[in-house]
A and B are shown apart, each in its own frame.
Chain A
C-alpha cells in the first residue's frame, strides 16, 4: 500500500474538520468497547487467558524457526505447498505464478491485511487478473478505490448515504438501478452480485489468522462467510500469511480464539472460524483441488529478539484502536498506511521506516487504554516511546518535538525535579482550565486545541494522586 504517513499531521487536521469522518469514528466508542466490556465480564478467565496468550506468543517467537519448519512439513504432508517470501515483491510474484498456472482470469479474495500491505490487488490488475474483494467492507472500499480505515471494519469511514450512491453508480452494469437506502437492501444487492463471482472465480485468496504447526492448517475468522465461499468454491486456494501467525497446536489456537473475537467485536466466537488443511481429499465432493500457503516475512524477522519484538504478538483484533481517543478523533486514514491506531503508531515505523512514519508515535495521549485492552498485552505506549527516543536520537523529529522530548528526557533522569515540574504544570493547566475544566488554547498542542478542548488535569499529577490513594487505602 502507498505510504502516506509523512502527511499524518495534515491528514489528521483535515479529518478533524470532516463531518462524515467525525460522525463515523465517534460512533466507535459506543459500539466496540461496550460490546467488548460485556463479553469480558462474562468470562471470568479472561485476564488469565491474556497472560497465557502473551506467554504462548513469546514461546512461539523464541522458537519461530522450529514452528515454521514444522508447519511447512505438515502442509507438504497434506498435499499443499508453502512458498517462502522474504519481501512483498516475492510474495506478489508467488501469488501471480500460482494464478497463472491456474489460468486465472478472476480471483475472489477474503479480507487480508497482509495482501493490503503488499498491494496485491493493483499488482494483479496490472497483470490482467481481476481481484474481487468479498468482505462487504473491503468490497465497498474496492469499489470506491479507497483504503481500509480500520483493521476489522475497513469501510468504517463510509456513511450509509455514500454506500447508497456508490452502489447506485457501480451496480447498474449488473442490472441494479434502484437507489437503495435500507442497509439490509444494500447488503442483499452486494450479496447477489458476489454470489456469482464466487462460483466463477478460478482462484480464491484468503489471509490467515493462525497457522497450525501440528496439522499444517490455516485458519480464517469471519462473520460474513465470504472467506469460506472464497476458499471452497474455486479450484485453487491460496492463503497468504505473515510468518508470526504460526501456533503450535489446535489447543493453542483455541486459547487465542477465546480472546480474539471478544477483543475485536465482543462476540464469544466470530460466526465462522475455519481450519483448512491441504487440498480436497480423493473422495471429497467439494473443496479446492490445490492448496498453497504464501508465507511472507517482509521485515518481521527483524523484530525477533529486538526491543520491539512484543509487536509480533499482535492478533490484529483492533481493540487498541477501538479504545483510542486519538484514533477516534483523527480516523484511520490519517495514519497513512495499512495499520491505524495504536498498533499502527507502534508498528508502521518498523514496516515503512521511521523517517516516513515519524509522526505516528506522537499520535498518542499516553492514556494507556490500548495496552489495557490488548489481548496479548503488547506495551504499545512503551514501544511508541522507544520510537520517539529513536527519532530524537537520529534527529529525525521536527524541532519543537526535539525540544519537548529533550526536556522530558532531562527531567525523567532527575525524578525529584520531574515531580516538581509536572506538579507545577498540572496546577498551571488546572488553573488555565478555570471552572469549565477545559482548555481551549495550548502552546505546542494547537493541532489538537484548534478544534477541540483539551481536558484540564485535576491539578494533581498521577503520582501525587497515587500516593494519596495508597495512603488512604492503608
Chain B
C-alpha cells in the first residue's frame, strides 16, 4: 500500500466512510471551490475609491513604508532621484521589464542608470510595478511573470513600487477577483506576493529591527490615473 493510500484510507476510516466522496456530495464540494464565495469581509473599505486610495496610503505608512503621490508617470523620475539622494544611494536601478514602466521618462535623468531584468545580489535599488494595492491593510500584491520577476521584490535593500490609483482595490478578495480575471479561473502566476511594509524582525529580545532579509525600505509611488485608465 502506498503512503497516499494509507493516509487517505485512515482519514476515510476515521470519518466512517468506505471510499472517496462521490456523486452529489463531491459535486457540492467541487461547486464550493469553483464558486469561491467570499467569507466575512471587513467593512472598513466600504468607502468611495478616492477614500480607499487614502486609506491605502495611511495603512502603508503605518507599516513603515513611505508613499509619494504623482500626477502622472512624468513625475516619477524626479521622485526617484530625490529618493536616491535622500538615502545616499548610487544612481543605479534594476527595473522590471514591465511595459507599464516604459512610460516613465527616465531619459530626462541621465545620471540614473537603469538596467532591466531579474535581481542580482549586487542590486541595491529595484523598481517594479504592482498587480494591485489593497486598501484594507496597505498591502501590495505582486504577480510574477516574464516581465515581473519576483526576486526584485526581495533581494535589493531598497524597493520602489509604482502603482496607478486605479490598481488599488479595497480588499484581498477584490484583488483575487482581479487576478482571476487576468490569469483565468484556477490559474495562478508562479508567485503571488503580498507585501505589507518593509522587511523586519523581532527575533533578538523582541526588539523590532528593520531590514532583516528583504528590503530595508519600501517606497510606493501612487500615480493618478491617466486618461487611458478613466
Contacts and interface: CB of A to CB of B under 8 A. Distances in A.
Interface of A: 24, 27-28, 31, 43-45, 48-49, 52, 56, 62-70, 74, 78, 84-86, 90, 134-137, 140, 153-156, 158-160, 163, 183-184, 186-188, 191, 194-196, 199, 213-215, 217, 223-226, 228-229, 232-233, 243, 248-252, 254-255, 257-258, 265, 267-281, 283-287, 295, 297, 301-302, 304-306
A191 B207 contact: no
Contacts of A136: 201, 203-204, 212-213
Contact of B206 (A27, A52, A67, A258): A27
Interface residues of B, number: 78
Given A65-B15, A304-B11, A224 B199 contact: yes
Interface in B117-131: 117-119, 121
Contacts of B203: 135-137, 140, 153-155
Interface stretch (B25-33, B78-86, B162-170): B25-33
A187 B205 contact: no
Given A44-B43, A285-B149, A195 B121 contact: yes
Interface in B163-194: 171-173, 176, 186-194
B8 A65 contact: yes
B143 to A, nearest CB: 10
Given A24-B205, A280-B190, A65 B20 contact: yes
Contact of B137 (A27, A66, A269, A283): A269
B3 A64 contact: no
A236 to B, nearest CB: 14
B145 A281 contact: yes
Contacts of B145: 281, 283-284
A305 B200 CA distance: 40
A232 B154 contact: yes
A280 B33 CA distance: 25
A346 B32 CA distance: 32
Contact of A274 (B20, B43, B97, B192): B192
B7 interface: yes
Given A31-B206, A86-B6, A274-B193, A134 B213 contact: yes
Contact of A248 (B16, B32, B97, B190): B32
A48 B42 CA distance: 10
A191 B40 contact: no
B43 A279 contact: no
Interface in B23-69: 26, 29-30, 32-33, 36-40, 42-43, 59, 63
B212 A224 contact: yes
Contacts of B155: 229
Given A232-B154, A232-B191, 5 more contacts: A85-B3, A225-B213, A249-B33, A274-B192, A283-B145
Contacts of A163: 204
Contacts of B212: 136, 187, 191, 223-226
Instruction: Across the A-B interface, give the 5 residue pairs with the lowest CB-CB distance, nearest first.
Output: A225-B214, A224-B212, A137-B203, A305-B14, A84-B4
Interface of B: 2-4, 6-8, 10-12, 14-17, 20-21, 26, 29-30, 32-33, 36-40, 42-43, 59, 63, 97, 117-119, 121, 136-137, 139, 144-146, 149-151, 153-155, 171-173, 176, 186-207, 209, 211-215
Contact of A160 (B59, B119, B144, B205): B205
Contact of B201 (A62, A66, A195, A224): A224
A301 B196 contact: no
Contacts of B211: 187-188, 191
Q: Which of A24, A250, A270 is packed against the most chain B CB atoms within 10 Å? A: A250
B3 to A, nearest CB: 4
Contacts of B119: 286
Contacts of A78: 188
A156 B38 contact: no
A15 to B, nearest CB: 17
A223 B37 contact: no
Nearest to B176: A250
A43 B146 contact: no
Contacts of A67: 29
Given A191-B212, A269-B194, A232 B151 contact: yes
B39 A52 contact: yes
Contacts of B209: 183-184, 187
Contact of A65 (B11, B37, B206): B11
Contact of B20 (A69, A188, A215, A223): A69
A233 B149 CA distance: 11
Contact of B176 (A160, A187, A195, A251): A251
B190 A281 contact: yes
Contacts of A196: 121
A340 to B, nearest CB: 16
Contacts of B17: 65
Nearest to B37: A251
B200 A271 contact: yes
A109 to B, nearest CB: 13
